[in-house]
Chain A
Amino acid sequence: DSGVTQTPKHLITATGQRVTLRCSPRSGDLSVYWYQQSLDQGLQFLIQYYNGEERAKGNILERFSAQQFPDLHSELNLSSLELGDSALYFCASSVVGSIGANVLTFGAGSRLTVL
Protein backbone atom coordinates (compact mmCIF):
# COMPACT_ATOMS: atom_id res chain seq x y z
CA ASP A 1 0.00 0.00 0.00
CA SER A 2 1.60 3.25 -1.21
CA GLY A 3 -0.51 5.48 1.00
CA VAL A 4 -2.25 7.08 -2.01
CA THR A 5 -5.83 5.81 -2.27
CA GLN A 6 -7.79 5.87 -5.47
CA THR A 7 -11.42 4.92 -5.94
CA PRO A 8 -13.02 3.29 -7.75
CA LYS A 9 -10.52 0.68 -8.97
CA HIS A 10 -12.65 -0.21 -11.97
CA LEU A 11 -15.46 1.66 -13.66
CA ILE A 12 -17.50 0.73 -16.71
CA THR A 13 -19.82 3.29 -18.19
CA ALA A 14 -21.40 4.37 -21.45
CA THR A 15 -20.55 7.12 -23.90
CA GLY A 16 -21.97 10.50 -22.95
CA GLN A 17 -21.93 9.76 -19.24
CA ARG A 18 -20.06 11.54 -16.47
CA VAL A 19 -17.84 9.93 -13.83
CA THR A 20 -15.85 11.12 -10.83
CA LEU A 21 -12.54 9.60 -9.79
CA ARG A 22 -11.31 10.19 -6.28
CA CYS A 23 -7.83 10.38 -4.82
CA SER A 24 -6.62 10.68 -1.25
CA PRO A 25 -2.95 11.64 -1.10
CA ARG A 26 -0.37 10.16 1.22
CA SER A 27 -0.49 11.66 4.67
CA GLY A 28 1.49 14.90 4.74
CA ASP A 29 1.60 15.34 0.97
CA LEU A 30 0.18 18.62 -0.27
CA SER A 31 0.46 18.09 -4.04
CA VAL A 32 -1.78 15.86 -6.11
CA TYR A 33 -1.11 15.03 -9.74
CA TRP A 34 -3.44 13.31 -12.20
CA TYR A 35 -2.17 11.22 -15.12
CA GLN A 36 -3.89 9.34 -17.91
CA GLN A 37 -2.42 6.14 -19.34
CA SER A 38 -3.90 4.89 -22.58
CA LEU A 39 -2.58 2.16 -24.85
CA ASP A 40 -1.76 4.49 -27.72
CA GLN A 41 -0.59 7.61 -25.84
CA GLY A 42 1.22 6.15 -22.87
CA LEU A 43 1.31 8.18 -19.66
CA GLN A 44 0.30 11.82 -19.90
CA PHE A 45 0.15 14.51 -17.27
CA LEU A 46 -3.30 16.01 -16.84
CA ILE A 47 -3.29 18.45 -13.95
CA GLN A 48 -1.67 19.26 -10.60
CA TYR A 49 -3.06 20.77 -7.42
CA TYR A 50 -1.05 22.08 -4.52
CA ASN A 51 -2.74 22.74 -1.18
CA GLY A 52 -6.08 23.36 -2.83
CA GLU A 53 -4.89 25.50 -5.72
CA GLU A 54 -4.38 24.49 -9.33
CA ARG A 55 -0.62 24.57 -9.96
CA ALA A 56 -0.15 23.23 -13.47
CA LYS A 57 -2.18 21.99 -16.39
CA GLY A 58 -1.12 19.47 -18.99
CA ASN A 59 -3.05 17.71 -21.71
CA ILE A 60 -6.38 17.88 -19.97
CA LEU A 61 -9.48 18.06 -22.16
CA GLU A 62 -12.11 20.72 -21.56
CA ARG A 63 -14.58 17.93 -20.77
CA PHE A 64 -12.40 17.03 -17.79
CA SER A 65 -12.07 19.03 -14.60
CA ALA A 66 -10.51 18.51 -11.22
CA GLN A 67 -10.35 20.02 -7.78
CA GLN A 68 -8.60 19.56 -4.48
CA PHE A 69 -10.60 19.92 -1.31
CA PRO A 70 -9.57 21.40 2.08
CA ASP A 71 -8.83 17.90 3.39
CA LEU A 72 -6.46 17.57 0.39
CA HIS A 73 -8.30 14.79 -1.36
CA SER A 74 -8.83 15.39 -5.04
CA GLU A 75 -11.48 14.51 -7.57
CA LEU A 76 -11.17 14.22 -11.33
CA ASN A 77 -14.45 14.70 -13.17
CA LEU A 78 -14.80 13.30 -16.67
CA SER A 79 -17.90 14.28 -18.62
CA SER A 80 -19.45 13.59 -22.03
CA LEU A 81 -17.36 10.45 -22.09
CA GLU A 82 -16.09 9.08 -25.38
CA LEU A 83 -14.70 5.68 -26.25
CA GLY A 84 -11.22 7.21 -26.40
CA ASP A 85 -11.41 8.20 -22.75
CA SER A 86 -11.03 4.55 -21.79
CA ALA A 87 -7.74 4.45 -19.91
CA LEU A 88 -6.03 4.00 -16.58
CA TYR A 89 -6.15 7.18 -14.52
CA PHE A 90 -3.44 7.55 -11.92
CA CYS A 91 -3.19 9.93 -9.06
CA ALA A 92 0.17 10.69 -7.46
CA SER A 93 1.15 12.85 -4.53
CA SER A 94 4.25 14.59 -3.27
CA VAL A 95 5.19 16.71 -0.30
CA VAL A 96 5.82 20.00 -2.05
CA GLY A 97 4.71 21.63 -5.24
CA SER A 98 7.79 21.25 -7.39
CA ILE A 99 7.99 17.94 -9.17
CA GLY A 100 11.64 18.46 -9.89
CA ALA A 101 12.49 18.12 -6.24
CA ASN A 102 10.20 15.33 -5.14
CA VAL A 103 9.70 11.65 -5.49
CA LEU A 104 6.14 10.85 -6.45
CA THR A 105 3.97 8.29 -4.73
CA PHE A 106 1.40 6.77 -7.07
CA GLY A 107 -1.98 5.31 -6.35
CA ALA A 108 -3.06 1.97 -7.81
CA GLY A 109 -5.06 3.65 -10.55
CA SER A 110 -8.67 3.73 -11.67
CA ARG A 111 -9.43 1.76 -14.81
CA LEU A 112 -12.16 3.44 -16.83
CA THR A 113 -13.89 1.57 -19.62
CA VAL A 114 -16.30 3.51 -21.81
CA LEU A 115 -18.63 1.34 -23.90
Chain B
Amino acid sequence: KNEVEQSPQNLTAQEGEFITINCSYSVGISALHWLQQHPGGGIVSLFMLSSGKKKHGRLIATINIQEKHSSLHITASHPRDSAVYICAVSAGSYQLTFGKGTKLSVIP
Protein backbone atom coordinates (compact mmCIF):
# COMPACT_ATOMS: atom_id res chain seq x y z
CA LYS B 1 0.00 0.00 0.00
CA ASN B 2 1.29 3.45 -0.85
CA GLU B 3 2.12 5.76 2.03
CA VAL B 4 1.72 9.44 1.28
CA GLU B 5 3.44 11.96 3.52
CA GLN B 6 2.94 15.70 3.30
CA SER B 7 4.93 18.45 4.91
CA PRO B 8 4.45 20.74 6.59
CA GLN B 9 1.16 19.88 8.30
CA ASN B 10 0.47 23.54 8.98
CA LEU B 11 1.88 26.62 7.31
CA THR B 12 1.34 30.29 8.03
CA ALA B 13 2.64 32.83 5.56
CA GLN B 14 2.51 36.55 5.02
CA GLU B 15 0.74 37.78 1.93
CA GLY B 16 3.14 37.87 -1.01
CA GLU B 17 5.41 35.09 0.23
CA PHE B 18 6.52 32.14 -1.91
CA ILE B 19 5.10 28.90 -0.52
CA THR B 20 6.19 25.30 -0.97
CA ILE B 21 4.27 22.22 0.11
CA ASN B 22 5.92 18.83 -0.21
CA CYS B 23 4.58 15.35 -0.85
CA SER B 24 6.46 12.05 -0.70
CA TYR B 25 5.14 8.61 -1.52
CA SER B 26 6.52 5.15 -0.96
CA VAL B 27 5.89 3.14 -4.14
CA GLY B 28 5.76 3.86 -7.85
CA ILE B 29 2.72 5.68 -9.13
CA SER B 30 0.91 6.33 -12.37
CA ALA B 31 -0.26 9.81 -11.41
CA LEU B 32 -0.18 12.34 -8.58
CA HIS B 33 -2.98 14.77 -7.86
CA TRP B 34 -2.93 18.03 -5.94
CA LEU B 35 -6.26 19.02 -4.45
CA GLN B 36 -7.41 22.16 -2.68
CA GLN B 37 -10.05 22.07 0.03
CA HIS B 38 -11.50 25.38 1.19
CA PRO B 39 -12.89 25.98 4.68
CA GLY B 40 -16.41 25.37 3.37
CA GLY B 41 -15.33 21.81 2.58
CA GLY B 42 -15.46 21.72 -1.21
CA ILE B 43 -12.56 20.05 -3.04
CA VAL B 44 -11.05 21.33 -6.25
CA SER B 45 -8.57 19.40 -8.32
CA LEU B 46 -5.58 21.66 -9.04
CA PHE B 47 -3.20 19.42 -10.94
CA MET B 48 -2.76 15.89 -12.13
CA LEU B 49 0.77 15.02 -13.17
CA SER B 50 2.85 11.97 -13.92
CA SER B 51 6.11 13.70 -14.85
CA GLY B 52 7.79 17.07 -15.01
CA LYS B 53 6.07 20.29 -14.14
CA LYS B 54 2.73 22.03 -14.61
CA LYS B 55 1.79 25.66 -14.08
CA HIS B 56 -1.56 27.31 -13.67
CA GLY B 57 -1.57 30.97 -12.76
CA ARG B 58 0.41 31.42 -9.54
CA LEU B 59 0.48 27.67 -8.85
CA ILE B 60 3.27 25.36 -9.97
CA ALA B 61 3.44 21.61 -9.39
CA THR B 62 6.52 19.50 -9.95
CA ILE B 63 7.19 15.82 -9.63
CA ASN B 64 10.39 13.78 -9.43
CA ILE B 65 9.49 10.18 -10.20
CA GLN B 66 12.91 8.80 -9.26
CA GLU B 67 12.83 10.45 -5.85
CA LYS B 68 9.08 9.78 -5.34
CA HIS B 69 8.50 13.40 -4.45
CA SER B 70 6.29 16.23 -5.57
CA SER B 71 6.08 19.89 -4.63
CA LEU B 72 3.32 22.44 -4.94
CA HIS B 73 4.50 26.04 -5.10
CA ILE B 74 2.41 29.17 -4.73
CA THR B 75 3.98 32.40 -5.87
CA ALA B 76 2.88 35.79 -4.49
CA SER B 77 0.55 34.15 -1.96
CA HIS B 78 -2.78 35.78 -1.18
CA PRO B 79 -5.26 35.32 1.69
CA ARG B 80 -7.65 33.63 -0.74
CA ASP B 81 -5.05 30.85 -1.08
CA SER B 82 -5.81 29.87 2.52
CA ALA B 83 -7.04 26.29 2.34
CA VAL B 84 -5.99 22.70 2.94
CA TYR B 85 -3.83 21.30 0.15
CA ILE B 86 -4.00 17.55 -0.31
CA CYS B 87 -1.68 15.31 -2.27
CA ALA B 88 -3.07 12.04 -3.62
CA VAL B 89 -1.52 9.26 -5.68
CA SER B 90 -2.71 6.41 -7.83
CA ALA B 91 -0.57 3.41 -8.69
CA GLY B 92 -2.18 1.85 -11.72
CA SER B 93 -5.42 1.10 -9.92
CA TYR B 94 -8.61 3.02 -9.71
CA GLN B 95 -8.27 4.29 -6.20
CA LEU B 96 -6.45 7.28 -4.79
CA THR B 97 -4.37 7.24 -1.63
CA PHE B 98 -4.43 10.59 0.10
CA GLY B 99 -2.01 12.49 2.26
CA LYS B 100 -3.33 14.08 5.44
CA GLY B 101 -3.17 17.55 3.96
CA THR B 102 -1.31 20.80 4.61
CA LYS B 103 -3.31 23.60 6.15
CA LEU B 104 -2.18 26.93 4.71
CA SER B 105 -3.08 30.27 6.24
CA VAL B 106 -2.02 33.42 4.41
CA ILE B 107 -2.14 36.53 6.56
CA PRO B 108 -2.71 39.96 4.97
Binding site for B on A (CB under 8 A): 2, 33, 35, 42-45, 48, 55-56, 58, 88, 90, 92, 97-106, 108-109, 111
Contact = CB atoms under 8 A, between A and B. Distances in A.
A98 B41 contact: no
B60 interface: no
B90 A106 contact: no
Nearest to B92: A100
Given A42-B101, A99-B90, A100-B31, A48 B45 contact: no
A42 B100 contact: yes
Contact of B31 (A35, A101, A105): A101
Contact of B88 (A43, A56, A58, A97): A43
10 contacts: A42-B99, A42-B100, A42-B101, A44-B98, A97-B94, A99-B93, A100-B31, A102-B48, A108-B40, A109-B41
A101 B32 CA distance: 10
Nearest to A58: B95
A101 B50 CA distance: 9
Given A43-B86, A99-B31, A100-B31, A108 B42 contact: yes
B43 interface: yes
A108 B41 contact: yes
Given A90-B43, A100-B92, A43 B33 contact: no
Contacts of A108: 40-42
Contact of A43 (B40, B44, B92, B98): B98
A98 B50 CA distance: 14
Contacts of A56: 93-95
A33 B90 CA distance: 13
